[in-house]
Amino acid sequence: MELAAATSLSASCSSSPITGSWRTAFLSLRDETQSLPSLRQSHIQTILQLLNRFIFSQADNLIHVASLLPPDEVGADIMLLMELARNISDDAAADFDDVTQSFIQLSNFIHGTISRVSFKLDAASWVLSLDCFRRVVKAFLGKAKMNAAFIENASVISAIKHCLQSSRLLFGVCQRTNLSSGNKELLEFLHVVIACFQMESLYSSCSSGNRKVSKNQCVWEVQNTAFSIIGEVYLKVGKSLHIDIWESTIKVLRHVMDFLASNGPLAEDSVMATFYNSVLHCLHMVLVDSKGSLSAHVAGFVAALRLFLSYGVANRNRFVSPEAGQGKELISSSKNLEMAELSKSGSVPYRPPHLRKRELKNLQRKDEESLSSAGLESSTGYHVSSDSDYSDGDGSARDLSIVRCDKTRLAAIICLQDLCRADPKSFATQWTMLLPQSDVLQPRKHEATLISCLLFDPYIKVAEFKDTTKRGSFTALSSSLGQILMQLHSGTLYLVKHEKHGGLLASLFKILTPLISSTPYSRMPPGLLLTVISSVRERVEDGFLVRIDQTSLLAAAFDCLTVALSVSPPSVQVKHMLLEEVGRGFLEVQKKPGLLYALFSYSEPFRSPSISFESLQALRAVAHNYPSAMFSCWKEVSSIVYAFLRYTPDVQARLQKINAGCTGGPSWEKVITAAVKVFDECLRAISGFKGTEDLSDDRLLDDPFTSDYMKIKTISSAPFYGSESPASPTYEVNLFPRGCEQWSEAIAKHMPLILRHSSAVVRAASVTCFAGLTSPVFMSLHQAEQDFILSSSVDAALSDEVPSVRSAACRAIGVIACFPQVIQSEEILDKLVYAVVHNTNDSLVSVRITASWALANICDSLRHCVDLPSFTSGSGDSKGSSELISILINSALHLSKDNDKIKANAVRALGNLAGFVPFSGDLVNCNEGLGPKSKPLINSSVKHLSKRENLYQNSKSFQPGTSTSSDWLEKMVQAFVSCVTTGNVKVQWNVCHALSNLFVNKTLELHDKDWAPAVFSILLLLLRDSANFKIRIQAVTALAVPSTVDDYGRSFYDVLQGVVNVSENLNSDKISSPSNFKYKVALENQLTSTMLHVIGLASGTDCGPIEEFLVKKTLFLEEWLRALCSSLDEGSIVLQSERDAHVKGKKDVILRALRSLVKVFEVGKHHALAGRFHQLLIRMQ
């Protein structure tokens, strides 16, 4: 029944006399136009008359009844009008005034109908509509070219605007029906409209003196409509548009922005602000989905956008300089009132518009009086928070204009952000335009920057800044970048100190964090980092007036402090500040509590998890970068960590319930882990931890040429001691007894609780603490405490189900294995080896990496601490030691086939073993009886591993059988060759180092080995062709290890030739990576040492090719040796006695090489050459 009624109603409406007028008019128009044979000029006049008679004469009535007709019928009739308009809009007809008038009426009629009736649209109709609109607009603008006054005709402008609005309505229909065609044609139509309206004559007609005013509002509204449609198109179908149309849009926008930038100051009124908003919003929508390169446009866009950063500010608010000279403070009474309100309530109360106007008049009068007495020009204006202030309709036109100007500035900043994201490389050159280089706290109307928007924009109310500190100069940074960094710090810290709005303050902390991370404070004025830390700390102490979200603000502030305290290298000024605080007792009640006091206070367990976590992170940064400040803080660190560990699950649940309102914070587990890491870092600082024990044999330091270059290792897990290096004896004597006390307390009080914690993350952090031990501290502990550390590490490596815990235990074992006293205990060594070998077979790569690292450390310790005679004595201990070495070799060979990180550690392990394993006779025969090892282990959970045969049975990589030393040697060399060809840079470096160790082995008869020439060839190839200087240094170091010509065997000539050629061409080699520059001196020194070594051995052979080669290189060798002799006194040694010994050592090496050359040339009867080098020899002596 309802459906029938609806159908009847529709039929009655369609056939009613009201709608009959529409049908009669269009049927008559269709019949009359179809009867015309052709479109001659007379016929065009006829069509215009027909349109006037049937359509335009009753246009209002027809538009009114259109909504009562079926949409498809209306659509077909509108397409008829568009087709007629397209046919008569040729150039010849466009000159007629009646055509123009008809187009005006036609545009108005079509827009009125389309706005009331939504009919279906196919692709052909959509293209026809766009073509019609384009022709109509083209006719209007063609008329305007001949008569500029024509464009100021309001009816013409209205018609053009109706064409654009009609195209927008039809575009919406296309989107609802998923019609994807025609988007390119629509944008091209809009581009034409914008290009025509950008004629300079149109702008000049709307200018008055230096300040533009909008005489014809409709002109700007047309362009507003065009830009807003473009933005809408890119918002809805931007991803499907082709790059060609995107580039066309960019060019149109660039032309508009260039014109704005070159046409003087921007007009500041409501109409122009709306126009600017439309342009900038359109630019944002086009940039947000960039499809091509913007490198040619970035500079132009930035130059124009910069004009908008201060748009509308000068005529709105008076700015009082934060640095108003000589201490004079000019603060408007309006700001005084606002600050008083803020101080009382923490926020500005709402004021109705009529009260705001009344207050404004009173405050304006007072401000004018105060400013006139100061000789300043008065101006009025007040801040409106948002458009909602005008929702009641009481806002004035000036108020609305202010809001539009505010939106324009915001839109410009968003466009700058889009440019930065779309093409960061091109945008990088524009930072000097957008960031201040001087006087950041001085407002400058025509030199607005991003920081000036933060400081002086009316949206931000700030108090007066009185600091007049002089800025320093910087040598390592360019002047502009250095000044920018300084001004960024000044502006941001000023806002952090004074800002009251919680959301903006949180954003300021987010700005400050990357600013701190990217600033090279070591090349900035002294005290800058201290100023940053002090400013953030003072803001934390002053508190936040925001009543909500205090937690997130405090967490953000402490995050900034963490980043600042983590800056490397650490600041001397910050260190002195911390030591001063510790010296005066930072926990005492003071008027101005220090940084450590704040960090410890906010780290307490009862605090919000977010605050506690960030505070603990900052404390960890202090312990790492400023360890001397933590020596007196052990009591507080111990207390806080113990408090966290004592909280039962019930207490934790209550705390989480209390802090339930703080969403998004870290879990309780994460906070406890952070506390344990602070505990670990503090123990490392007190213990003097500086990495694993240095077991190097100082072979390179014995060389007078390479000892000039001291290799500095940076251990990320070690605290930064600076000048208070733990290497000094006084430091060790004073510190290690205290480290022993702290470790004893930790083992008795904290470690049992942490090791048994239910969280695997916490357990892993606890085992990592053992990796921060040092040999003196460990050996000063009681035997029971040492046993506890060893058993806990081994037990975690073998028994814990979580891979991260096992990995941490392997790292701890790797550190402990480097203690000489530990590795000399056979029982302890058995346990450590088994735990490590067991984990080298783990399924997870992360576990195998740390296990292989620990394995390499064990092998390194054995190389330096092993008693070599025990391997050849034939005793039971010898057999046991051989069994252990076999396990290590087999495991390392197995790992050498793993990924690169593991492979590098495996090669290091094999290299350490190759340095001391005797390669003569059998190493072990596993089929024979095994020597008993039955000493009980400390921890009951690993007692079943007490027999050495279990090491074999549980090692997957061990293969029983008779293994001779030659077998292991062949497998080692094969592994080295395979790894150097398939491994990464780190693997190649370790192969070179391993070969150095192999060449040192006294039991190796290198000259008899068939693989020796291949090994030397690999080293020479790496020396010549490797792009990494560290690999080249290690390769040339290995080439200098053989001590006699016989050790080089058949490869001596190749080594001599390769080393000399590389040395001759070194300065002509291109350095492929900037990181290699710092290693160039070390490479030159090591190459010099190796070259002198092999030249010194050249006289010990009668090989003809060697003599011929040296004769060929005479000129280079002579020049090189002369330069070397003249540089003998160069070096970094200060003491005269050491310098004399150093120079003497260099002379001895050079003299030996000269004598060798003289002998070679004399034997070869090259007496002239021998005489030249003999003269050089005499001068040296």
Chunked into runs of 10 residues, the chain (1181 residues) has average pLDDT values of 39 57 86 69 74 85 86 87 79 59 86 86 86 84 59 77 88 82 87 74 42 55 88 89 91 88 79 87 90 88 84 57 36 35 40 47 41 32 36 50 79 85 81 65 60 54 31 42 74 84 83 84 87 91 71 90 91 90 66 81 88 93 89 89 77 54 67 93 88 59 62 68 48 53 92 91 93 90 93 94 95 92 84 94 94 94 68 48 85 93 94 84 40 33 42 46 68 92 92 92 83 92 90 92 89 92 82 73 89 90 84 90 79 61 82 89 86 84 71
Token match 């308009």: residue?
85
Helix axes 572-584, 528-542, angle to 10 degrees: 50
Q: What's the pLDDT score for residue 814?
A: 94
- First-to-last C-alpha distance (Å) of the chain: 126
Give the tens place of pLDDT for each residue, 95-126: 556 777 888 888 888 888 888 888 888 888 88
- Measure CA 481 to chain center: 19
649 φψ region: left (φ > 0), alpha (ψ -120 to 50), beta (else)? alpha
Helix axes 97-114, 154-176, angle to 10 degrees: 40
User: How many Cα atoms occupy the beta-carbon half-sphere of 687 within 13 Å?
Assistant: 30
What DSSP state is assigned to residue 924? E
Q: What's the pLDDT score for residue 491?
A: 80
Supply the pTM of this predicted model. Answer: 0.67
Q: Which two tokens stand for residue 759?
A: 């969280």
Q: Are 316 and 458 in contact (CB under 8 A)?
A: yes
Which residues in 1022-1057 are b (16+ Cβ under 10 Å) and which e? bbeebebbbbbbbbbbbbbbbeebebbbebbbebbb
Bond from prior residue into 737 cis (ω within 30 degrees of 0): no
Q: What's the pLDDT score for residue 870?
A: 47
Q: Are 836 and 858 in contact (CB under 8 A)?
A: yes
- Report the residue count for the chain: 1181
Q: Three-state SS for 962?
A: strand
Rg (CA), the chain: 42
Query: How far apart are alpha carbons 850 and 806 in whole angstroms?
Result: 9
Give the tens place of pLDDT for each residue, 854-884: 999 999 988 887 654 444 444 445 555 778 8
Other CB atoms within a 10 A radius of the CB of residue 1099 amount to 20
Q: What's the pLDDT score for residue 198?
A: 66
Q: Three-state SS for 776?
A: helix
User: Between the CA of residue 1003 and those of 859, 872, 966, 1000, what are the distances in Å?
Assistant: 18, 11, 11, 9
Q: Which two tokens stand for residue 1156?
A: 């060798």
Residue in 623, 675, 613 with CA at minimum distance from that of residue 645: 675
Residues with Cβ within 8 Å of 588's Cβ and at least 6 positions away in sequence, in order, are none
If residue 786 lies in a helix (H) or strand (E), which one and from where to where? helix 783-799
Q: Are 256 and 300 in contact (CB under 8 A)?
A: no
Q: Three-state SS for 963?
A: strand
For residue 391, which phi and psi values (nearest 5 degrees)?
Answer: -65, -20
Q: What's the pLDDT score for residue 471?
A: 40
Other CB atoms within a 10 A radius of the CB of residue 657 amount to 8
Helical spans, DSSP H, in 499-633? 502-518, 528-542, 550-565, 572-584, 595-602, 609-625
Query: How far apart are alpha carbons 349 and 352 in whole angstroms?
Result: 10
User: Between the CA of residue 895 and those of 838, 858, 953, 962, what are the distances in Å?
Assistant: 12, 15, 18, 21
In terms of C-beta density within 10 A (0-12 exposed, 13-18 middle, 19 or more buried), how is residue 9 classed?
exposed
Residues with Cβ within 8 Å of 956's Cβ and at least 6 positions away in sequence, in order, are 841, 894
Which residues in 825-842 are b (16+ Cβ under 10 Å) and which e? eeebbbbbbbbbbbbbbb
Query: How far apart are alpha carbons 49 and 87 in whole angstroms?
Result: 15
Q: Are 81 and 128 in contact (CB under 8 A)?
A: no
